[in-house]
Chains A and B, each alone.
Chain A
Amino acid sequence: MLSCKELVARSSDYLDGQLTFAGYLQARQHLLFCKNCRRFIKQMRLAQATIKAMPEPVVDDTDELVQRMTEAHRNRNRP
């Protein structure tokens, strides 16, 4: 049976579906019996969702970029 330390070491692979089938079963078995690691995985998922939900930094130079892209587009049609 996996130890908690091993489960934690493999937790990202578990969440990303990167474990072999046998590895996945081992992890599932550990989680079935270990409340602490169940909580850990749940909190890891929450951490993932939180990063996803964080506001993206605003693009501060949109106007300038759009201007340069428009110019580049215009010039493209010139020899």
Chain B
Amino acid sequence: MSVEIEARLLERLLVGDQQAFRELVTTYQGAMRAVAHAILGSRQADEAVQDAWLAVVRSLPGFQGRSSLKTWLLTITANAAKTRYKQNRREVLLDDLPSPHGTIGAERFSGDGHWLLAPSSWHEDTPEALLSQEELRECLEKTLIGLPNLQSSVLLLRERQGLELEEICNLLEISLSNVRVLLHRARLKVFATLEHFEDTGQC
């Protein structure tokens, strides 16, 4: 969102314009959910996002524009999620879960580190062509849902929301090296799903 559009939206938000609230929700709900999901998991994430929206309305007059609207909203969301999350400290941060189509693991390489089973060429080479296949879309969604909370959130915040790695560290209060590990694991699982689909034509 450009600075001018953001400024105009802010004016309307400050007077309580309902349509402006609607625009804000539809634009940023996805990113906010990803942040809450990372901190709380799926069960309480939606509630934290609701808390966050109400906090946003209360805090709007104090918004100084020192950060982008998006960064401000995500910070409020992270705080709301952390408030909800007190007793049940996150399960061990780097716990991993198996993914439906696995990952690119050691079994793909020989002892000297060469590919044993090299990636083969794919039939499609654009996201649009890949996603036009409904079965693949559903298959990818399944893989994303199967990722541990932090992995899926970090992946979505990076790839879909375009956040810098440092922003993700700050929001989720995890180290840069952990963000890198989580992101890499998630990407390899997505890769394995695409590869499996391209090889076999099914999920």
Residues of chain B at interface, number, CB under 8 A? 51
* Distance to closest chain B CB from A16 (angstroms): 6
A70 touches B119 (CB 8 A): no
For A52, give its contact among B115, B127, B180 (CB under 8 Å).
B127
A7 to B158, CA, bound (A): 21
- A69 CB within 8 Å of chain B: yes
Cβ-closest chain B residue relative to A43: B119
B residues with CB within 8 A of A: 16, 18, 21-22, 25-26, 29-30, 46, 50, 53-54, 56-58, 104, 106, 108-109, 112-115, 118-119, 121-122, 125-128, 130-131, 137, 140-141, 144, 155-156, 158-160, 165, 180, 183-184, 187, 190-191, 194-195
Cβ-closest chain A residue relative to B158: A16
27 A–B contacts from the bound complex (CB under 8 Å): A5-B109, A5-B114, A9-B184, A16-B158, A36-B115, A39-B121, A44-B191, A46-B122, A46-B194, A47-B187, A47-B191, A50-B130, A50-B131, A50-B190, A51-B156, A52-B127, A53-B127, A53-B128, A59-B25, A62-B25, A65-B21, A65-B25, A66-B22, A69-B21, A69-B54, A73-B57, A74-B16
